[in-house]
Structure 1
């Protein structure tokens, strides 16, 4: 059996690594970086700090701060104009998943052109693109190390997964100090999504020896650090470990795949504007329980790596312990049900068939240990609405 491993050519990981950004760009002979970020990071001064860092190094940066949460094809239009007007030779994605996903999409569209829907999965794009340097400011998406971007089609409302080697950043700056101000809610949601990435990469039918090792390491780190980071955001050790784990989990799923949780979570963001992290957290325990019978041994490995089971118990018991732990995490980290989030039952029920269809169309459920039918996905959506699956 052979498998292909792809990771960014240059990852700088650790507190204070942001200062190395000029060196990263010089190594690529880049002179005109466009910083792709959002209004929040502009308001906090983080974006201005990056601009100043690059100007002091003699580079010629520009700033595009028009990224929106859950970016859409329409929201990319102003970004493309900014790339063109600045004559950018590299894009610097600064922020959480939305700015980095936006930078990846812009990098491809600026060279190839659109429409982006032509590139959605299962199509894999390996053509020319501008280089992307990713600087995450949350510890969750792992987008700095993945070959994917997620953009909502403004015409259809579909949250499109676009994949391929051309979306992989050439470099990533993983500086946990940029996450120190994350509030508990964001810490919880991004932390659970990192755990979801690692577990799904490990149980996916497309897993391999490399992704297995990286995924289990990420799970172990998250098991000892997530609760601490949630309760005490000033804990440098926990923040640093969660940032490292998020990147490892991103590497794991980029070289394996995600599965049913992600397939089901994207429609929640598209239709109900639930954040990616929270939608994963709403689904995680229920989908894992649904899947156990097809991969008790691999879910058991995850439970042991997480620290909620050991070798003295059977694989079936260890796998069941994982589900209990995911439910406990959802409770301790105050993950709401869709109903408590504020969604009306009638609105939810009306979209269940459409969401199930979109989940299946993404391809991710096909990687799940237990491959669901549309009716299974509909049942899971109904079960999580009021927390029946907790």
Structure 2
């Protein structure tokens, strides 16, 4: 199998890196960037800080702060209007996964047109797009390093995976200081999201030596630092380490793809408006247990990298300890089940056939070590509830 490896053209990494935004714009010959973010980043002054950096570099920036959690085809309309009104020559995605996903979608639609559903998997879009600069403020989605965006189609409640090199940021700025204000719940959800990215990239049928190295490194870091960051948000070493791990995991799954957890997670987010990282965390223990027989050696290595098993442990023992580790981690960071989160059981049960169909249609389950049937996915949805 030939592996296709793609990364951002360059990445600025480290505390205070966001101050280099002006240099990045100059290096890319960008003059009229649209800053794509959300109301929270405006309210805390972060958006204004970036606009001042942009202006200080002699560029004419504009602000679009209308992104929403789990962006939809409908929520893109105002952003497209803003990009057109500003005659933007680049987009800057600033925030968590949702602003970055929105920026990626605007970059493609502003240049190529059409509807977002035109770009969903299995299509791989590599055509014209505005340059994308990604600046994450959470340590989880890894979107700053991936060739994917996820947009919900309001007509079908389908969370569409839209892949292709045109969605890959040309530059990323990864500054751990931007995560300092993340509350414990968000730290946990995004941290488990990064862990899911690393595990799924490593066990994916599309894994390769480059993605393996990134995924394993991310797991080692997450095993050491996630709980520290969750328990003490002022732990700057843990914050920086989790930011690095998130970007590594993003690079890993961008080049190896994700698997069953993500395939099942997207419908939960679309139908019940559960944050992506949290729905991944709800699914991770059960889906991992289901999948281990297909790649026991790889799951065993995950356990060793996370510190859950010893080098001398057999694959059987190590893979079993991986499940124990994930269960304990989810308990420590208080991941709820769908039932305790407040999701209505009759509604959940009624949507299981559709969610199973949507999960399979995303293509991600086909990368899983054990490729499930629709009935097996339905059983897993019942198990996790």
What TM-score results when the alignment is normalised by the length of structure 2? 0.99
Aligned partner of 1:383 in structure 2 is: 383
Alignment of structure 1 residues 1-390 onto 2, 5 Å: 1-385=1-385
Secondary structure of the equivalent of 1:188? helix
Tell me the CA shift for residue 56 of structure 1. Answer: 1.6
Q: Deviations over 1:177-214 (max 9, x none)?
A: 00000000000000000000000000000000000011
Q: Residues of 1 paired with 2:339 and 2:3: CA distance? A: 42
Tell me the CA shift for residue 312 of structure 1. Answer: 1.4
Secondary structure of the equivalent of 1:40? helix
Q: Residues of 2 paired with 1:244 and 1:215: CA distance? A: 12
Q: Residues of 2 paired with 1:3 and 1:65: CA distance? A: 37
Name segments (4+ residues, structure 1) moved above 4 Å: none
Tell me the CA shift for residue 8 of structure 1. Answer: 0.2
Q: Residues of 1 paired with 2:57 and 2:125: CA distance? A: 34
Secondary structure of the equivalent of 1:149? strand
Aligned partner of 1:388 in structure 2 is: none
Q: Residues of 2 paired with 1:334 and 1:25: CA distance? A: 41
Tell me the CA shift for residue 2 of structure 1. Answer: 2.9
Q: Residues of 2 paired with 1:210 and 1:249: CA distance? A: 11
Tell me the CA shift for residue 344 of structure 1. Answer: 1.4
Contact 2:201 2:257 in 1 (8 A): yes
Q: Residues of 1 paired with 2:22 and 2:311: CA distance? A: 48
Tell me the CA shift for residue 380 of structure 1. Answer: 0.5
Q: Residues of 1 paired with 2:270 and 2:126: CA distance? A: 26
Q: Residues of 2 paired with 1:278 and 1:347: CA distance? A: 19
Tell me the CA shift for residue 311 of structure 1. Answer: 1.8
Secondary structure of the equivalent of 1:66? coil
Tell me the CA shift for residue 313 of structure 1. Answer: 1.1
Cα RMSD (Å): 0.6
Tell me the CA shift for residue 58 of structure 1. Answer: 1.2
Unaligned runs of 5+ in 2: none
Q: Residues of 2 paired with 1:369 and 1:321: CA distance? A: 18
Q: Residues of 2 paired with 1:2 and 1:90: CA distance? A: 32
Tell me the CA shift for residue 267 of structure 1. Answer: 0.3
Q: Residues of 2 paired with 1:99 and 1:345: CA distance? A: 31
Tell me the CA shift for residue 130 of structure 1. Answer: 0.2
Secondary structure of the equivalent of 2:71? coil
Q: Deviations over 1:269-317 (max 9, x none)?
A: 0000000000000000100000011111000111111011112111011
Contact 2:101 2:150 in 1 (8 A): yes
Secondary structure of the equivalent of 1:31? coil
Contact 2:26 2:57 in 1 (8 A): no
Aligned residues, how many?
385
Unaligned runs of 5+ in 1: 386-390
Contact 2:22 2:56 in 1 (8 A): no
Tell me the CA shift for residue 155 of structure 1. Answer: 1.0
Q: Deviations over 1:129-184 (max 9, x none)?
A: 00000000000000000000000001111000000000000000000000000000
